[in-house]
Amino acid sequence: MSENDTHTTLNNGLRMPLLGFGVFQTPPDETREAVAEALRVGYRLVDTAAAYGNEREVGEAIRASGLDRDEVFIETKVWISDFGYDETLHAFDKSAGKLGVDTLDLFILHQALPTDFDKTVAAYRALETLLEGGKVRAIGVSNFMPDHLARLMEHATVVPAVNQVEVHPYFTQPAVQAADADRGVLTQAWSPIGGITAYRDTGTGSVFEDPTITAIAAAHGKTPAQVMLRWHLQAGRSAIPKSVKPHRIAENFDVFDFALTADQTAAIDALDTGIRGGPEPEAVTLETFAREIPEA
């Protein structure tokens, strides 16, 4: 296991684990146990969001782990209902309060709001203020397409450290990854092992059963999920797989003892269907996606 395998340096000089643990759709009563197990296995990056409704349980698990605060990299997200300058400053108070921390390692906008981009810009200005004040150590965005990033940078002074987007073998978003790379933004993959292709009918079938991936997995004595995570890490992407099953949590972290060949990587790259599993970024509006984020 090399340092290049396990960590990356963000564009502001902050070191971050490449492989993290996600808690999207994990019910609060299961989150505490899942995060505790992930930390026990060795994960040191935990990704949550205000909209997930489980920040409090993430914080409880981290405190109960016995790990020092600076040993765990905490990432969370501002929901669109809390966009706006003052609203986003308050969103920090809500998230930090639920997590039980004074400082967030990475604080990102959960979506762009294309129909009210001024609110998106104001929210990002609040992130810049929090960064300048030492409340957060890095700031970023999520689900931003290249045009969103370009529009944001017409107003922003701090380049996002991270853009968290849907990336898995069936949906690789090459244009997004290229736009991120051009600006020194780290692409972080949500649904990195294509879980969304298993629980949502995208018309592609489940990536877990793809014959190319299962053949590569068999060649290495690994699971399809492990092969996909290795694919991300070797490309320099961050990945945040999720599970509540202890054996899967451990399995997904056991990806540092093998390497894909150039041919195997190219074969996985070639599986891209261009079919998105998550919502279309342009369809995200307050009318359709607003939800109240409770106080801490």
Q: Which residues are catalytic?
A: 52
Give the CB-side neighbour count of residue 245, counting CA atoms within 13 A. 4
Q: Which residues is 162 bridged to in the sheet? A: 186
User: How far from 187 is each of 140, 233, 240, 271, CA to CA, in Å?
Assistant: 10, 11, 11, 19
**Whole-angstrom distance between the N-terminal and C-terminal Cα of the chain?**
39
What radius of gyration do the chain's Cα atoms show? 18
3-class SS string, 19-44: ECEECCCCCHHHHHHHHHHHHHHCCC
Both structure tokens of 107: 């604080």
Give the separation between CA 227 and CA 275, rounded to whole angstroms.
21
Within the chain, strands assigned E span: 7-9, 15-17, 21-22, 45-47, 73-78, 106-109, 139-142, 162-166, 186-190, 238-239
Contact call for residues 25 and 268 (beta carbons, < 8 A): no
Q: Which residues is 49 bridged to in the sheet? A: none
